[in-house]
Amino acid sequence: MGQPQQQSDGTEAGKPPLRVGMVGYAFMGAAHSQGWRTAGRVFDLPLNPVQTAICGRDAAAVRAAADRHGWASTETDWRALVERDDVDLVDICTPGDSHAEIALAALAAGKHVLCEKPLANTVEEATTMVRAAEEAHRRGQVSMVGFNYRRVPATALARRMVAEGRLGRLRHVRVTYLQDWLVDPEFPLTWRLRKEQAGSGSLGDLGAHIIDLAQYLVGERLAGVSALTETFVRQRPLPTGATSGLSVVSAAGTGEVTVDDAALFTARFPSGALASFEATRYATGRKNALRIELNGERGSLAFDLERLNELSFHDGTAPGAEAGFRRILVTEPDHPYLDAWWPPGHGLGYEHTFVHQARDLVHAIAEGRRPEPSFADGLQVQCVLAAVEESAEKNSVYTPIAV
């Protein structure tokens, strides 16, 4: 691992600071905290990320989160956080219904913004956020959406191989994101199951990831979709206690699930590749199975997030006797992000995607570049989500994606 010079407070000597204020401290807040805490310790960054403040409504809980995740101070009102003079970047890790309001305020206050996915709950909100981000960009501020699976070394390698033409013209893109934490009908009605808070269900939560990842790997945007969605369990116990990540909490009475439980859709890329997508939290036994396979005229690639240090590659130009998928162990210094980590062969995990996300954002800020995925990319994904919902409502009628 690289060994940047550390001071006793963990900051690095001789580099301008990037003072981060985070809103939200649950699952994503913890994951982003790992990113901010570790990025400058592993990578030689042009700016030094400082975990300045973390914000949440419950004073005791946010204090505990600050201590656990390494934040120097706390706020209980996000408006106070975005107005702080000692915060340069606002990192939004809240449910989707507050993304737009916080991002707009942070951009107006002159901050850079990182926003968890999906960018917003509606196309309208996302459009407003893109407008504000464009204006802010002219003032030197940057904004990015947290599609962290672009930062898995194996997916970044897949992107490189597709761009180099190793697969030739693509014919098929097959993507699934399978989890199973809703199989139990007694799992309570948390915010992720309420449309007014989450925007949509598996579609926005998991579907947004695979739409972004597929488009990133292919290097094109989807043209239109035909979709099916379903809500399998329509009533669930109401939660009474605090929720933690995805875990089950106690319940009293029942309430209506107002989002999709699963979404399936087919789509076309402009260059002709056919794509299929499946996002569900009901795939019994599948915990975090984001799988993507690309088939091209010259070869194929396959990735599975549950084996994230591996990429399978079939080179269709190899002699027939040697044909077949082979496993590339994506743990070598020549692979994306990996020269800064462990000796060859030592793998990474889920949390490292957030470290890489922080690294890439810090570079973009220091270099005055637009980071990717931008808010505009987030809006386009939002438009795909909207087209999926529209198509599903019309019994799978092919729905072009209007951005």
Binding-site member from 205, 360, 377, 389 for ligand SOE (CB under 6 A): 205
Binding-site member from 179, 200, 226, 229 for ligand SOE (CB under 6 A): 179
Q: Please say which residue, 27 or 232, places its beta carbon nearer to ligand SOE.
A: 27
Could you tell me how many residues of this chain bind ligand SOE (CB under 6 A)?
7
Tally the C-alpha atoms within 13 A of residue 396's C-alpha that lie toward its C-beta: 9
Instruction: Give dist(CA 36, CA 22) in Å, integer.
Output: 10
Q: Please say which residue, 12 or 260, places its beta carbon nearer to ligand SOE.
A: 260
Q: Please say which residue, 205 or 360, places its beta carbon nearer to ligand SOE.
A: 205
- β-strand pairing of 289-296 with 299-304: antiparallel
Report the nearest approach of ligand SOE to the CB of residue 308 (Å): 12
Instruction: Give dist(CA 193, CA 216) in Å, integer.
Output: 28
Of 7-15, 132-140, 201-209, 386-394, the segment contacting ligand SOE by CB under 6 A is 201-209
Helix H or strand E encompassing 252: strand 251-256
Instruction: Give dist(CA 325, CA 207) in Å, integer.
Output: 27
Task: Kindly identify the residues of this chain, within the stretch 355-384, that bind ligand SOE according to CB under 6 A.
Answer: none
- Give the per-residue SS3 of 5-33: CECCCCCECCCCEEEEEEECCCHHHHHHH
Check binding of 260 to ligand SOE (CB under 6 A).
no
Of 205-213, 318-326, 356-364, 383-391, the segment contacting ligand SOE by CB under 6 A is 205-213
Q: Please say which residue, 256 or 306, places its beta carbon nearer to ligand SOE.
A: 306
Report the nearest approach of ligand SOE to the CB of residue 18 (Å): 24
How many residues in the chain?
Answer: 403
Residue keyed to tokens 């107006």: 108
Torsion angle, alpha carbons of 18, 19, 23, 24, to 10:
80
CB-CB neighbours of 80 under 10 Å:
12
Q: Please say which residue, 93 or 158, places its beta carbon nearer to ligand SOE.
A: 93
Q: Please say which residue, 154 or 206, places its beta carbon nearer to ligand SOE.
A: 206
What is the side-by-side strand order in the sheet with 112-116?
A: 73-75, 48-55, 17-23, 89-92, 112-116, 143-146
Task: Kindly identify the residues of this chain, within the stretch 281-320, that bind ligand SOE according to CB under 6 A.
Answer: 288
Report the nearest approach of ligand SOE to the CB of residue 180 (Å): 10
**Residues at the site binding ligand SOE, with contacts judged by CB under 6 A:** 27, 179, 205-206, 209, 246, 288
